[in-house]
Structure 1
């Protein structure tokens, strides 16, 4: 169990670093809103975070 928790924490940190490197501070804000909204069961906050991330992804692909 501790190995799984350590692996999960390492994955989360690596993913956050990737988002910050690729999308900057706005990506971190979007990821934070999405995570907080999902944890709190607040659909408005999680939807806002998802929209922010989607707009960042669309901006870099167009």
Structure 2
């Protein structure tokens, strides 16, 4: 039996947040604008683009 490293789900991260996790690209993380879901017009709940699920966006929405 081999131990597996824990994996993080990056399927809902924006390109900017995903790249911003890499060394040397931390400044790109601040360029993420995917903070809300974008619904498909007349799509009855179908999303054109999901919001980024990065933890920095969740913290930014909390009132201070």
TM-score under structure 2 length normalisation: 0.35
Higher share of residues assigned helix: 1
Query: Which structure is larger by alpha-carbon Rg, 1 or 2?
Result: 2
